[in-house]
């Protein structure tokens, strides 16, 4: 079989909804097993990061801004000094020193904890500072400039803890367009994009500004305190940056290879083992 056939077979086994791959702005692999957009889970964090990067370039906010200068004080259960020390970047780096009840847990600015409740406040900050709701902002800054018509924010049903978080529905083809625009510095400035690929100064250096990077030689994963002594994706390019969601959704970019890979997963697919077939996947991607 050809490389494309092998990749197609592997993607089907992974429960892929769509996958779209480009090299040097040329489409080299594209498959739609589903035509409808899907909830890409935490890939949305990478998109929110891009919106923050654009907002910073347009002087709506800065990563160094104190969240208390945007939100009403006492939005956490921290002491006043600890709450006052929380910046936009600290929330992006998931080093808030809080649990999901927004209570003290760890050292602010250092200890990584994948905090989905605190993360939502970044969306609120964007809405307050720009005066646009999340859908309007995403349409104006991403979708309309890139000709994307199938991407929207919806509200999920309440989770077990009573939270109603917003979800991003999109396709791999649209995510690929965003990745290509990132590589061409059409969305955020080169310094911001470069920062996404650098290690954070936290207990999880593989996570920085809501993106995963493959430069770090250790990484942590959501819902675990374990530190793994290897890069997040050992078989992927070292300079890879990746926005990743539960179940296998991802938008991944390698500047050195001028490579963009976007993959979404069919919600009805049975969940594969975590990190299943990553070596085979990345070997095939790099052979395209």
The residue ranges of every structural domain in the chain are 3-287
H-helix or E-strand spanning residue 263: strand 259-265
The values of phi and psi at residue 171, to 5°, are: -120, 165
CB 241 within 8 A of CB 259: no
Closest to 163 measured CA to CA, from 102, 104, 209, 96: 102
Considering Cα of 93, then 41, then 20, then 49, what sign does the dihedral take?
negative
> Across-strand partners of 29?
21
CATH code: domain 3-287 is 3.40.710.10
Query: d(Cα 165, Cα 114) in Å, to the nearest integer?
Result: 15
| Per-residue pLDDT, 272 | 58
Q: What is the pTM of this model?
A: 0.97
CB 171 within 8 A of CB 264: yes
Q: What does each of the 288 residues of the chain score in pLDDT, given as a tens digit? A: 899 999 999 999 999 999 999 999 999 999 999 999 999 999 999 999 999 999 999 999 999 999 999 999 999 999 999 999 999 999 999 999 999 999 999 999 999 999 999 999 999 999 999 999 999 999 999 999 999 999 999 998 888 777 889 999 999 999 999 999 999 999 999 999 999 999 999 999 999 999 999 999 999 999 999 999 999 999 999 999 999 999 999 999 999 999 999 999 999 987 655 555 899 999 999 999
Closest to 239 measured CA to CA, from 286, 173, 185, 277: 286
Q: Return the structure tokens found at 45.
A: 């964090």
Residue entry with tokens 């002594």: 229
Q: Is 283 helix (H, G, I), strand (E, B) or coil?
A: helix
| Per-residue pLDDT, 1 | 84
Residue entry with tokens 């259960």: 77
Query: d(Cα 220, Cα 206) in Å, to the nearest integer?
Result: 8
- Side-chain half-sphere CA neighbours of 288 within 13 A: 26
> Across-strand partners of 206?
none
Q: Is 3 helix (H, G, I), strand (E, B) or coil?
A: helix
> Across-strand partners of 265?
16
CB 263 within 8 A of CB 236: no
The values of phi and psi at residue 85, to 5°, are: -85, -10
The values of phi and psi at residue 139, to 5°, are: -65, -45
Task: Tally Cβ neighbours within 10 Å of residue 107.
Answer: 12
């Amino acid at each position: 079989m050809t490389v494309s056939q092998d990749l197609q077979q592997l993607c089907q086994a992974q429960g892929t909804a769509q996958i779209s791959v480009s090299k040097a702005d040329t489409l080299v692999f594209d498959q739609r097993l589903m035509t409808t957009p899907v909830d890409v889970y935490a890939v949305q964090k990478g998109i929110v990061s891009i919106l923050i990067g654009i907002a910073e370039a347009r002087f709506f906010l800065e990563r160094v801004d104190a969240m208390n200068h945007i939100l009403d004080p006492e939005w956490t259960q921290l002491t006043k000094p600890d709450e006052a020390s929380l910046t936009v970047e600290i929330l992006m780096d998931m080093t808030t020193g809080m649990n999901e009840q927004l209570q003290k847990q760890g050292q602010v600015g250092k200890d990584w904890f994948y905090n989905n409740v605190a993360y939502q406040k970044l969306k609120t900050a964007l809405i307050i500072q720009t005066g646009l709701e999340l859908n309007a902002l995403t349409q104006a800054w991403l979708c309309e400039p890139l000709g994307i018509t199938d991407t929207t924010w919806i509200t999920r049903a309440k989770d077990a803890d009573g939270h109603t978080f917003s979800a991003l529905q999109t396709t791999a083809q649209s995510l690929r367009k965003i990745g290509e625009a990132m590589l061409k510095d059409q969305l955020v400035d080169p310094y911001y994009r470069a920062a996404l690929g650098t290690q954070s100064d936290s207990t999880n250096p593989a996570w920085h500004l809501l993106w995963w990077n493959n430069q770090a030689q250790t990484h942590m994963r959501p819902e675990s305190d374990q530190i793994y002594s290897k890069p997040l994706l050992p078989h992927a390019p070292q300079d890879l940056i990746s926005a990743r969601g539960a179940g296998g959704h991802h938008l991944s970019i390698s500047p050195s290879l001028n490579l963009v890979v976007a993959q979404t997963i069919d919600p009805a697919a049975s969940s594969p083992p975590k990190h299943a077939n990553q070596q085979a996947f990345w070997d095939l991607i790099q052979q395209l």
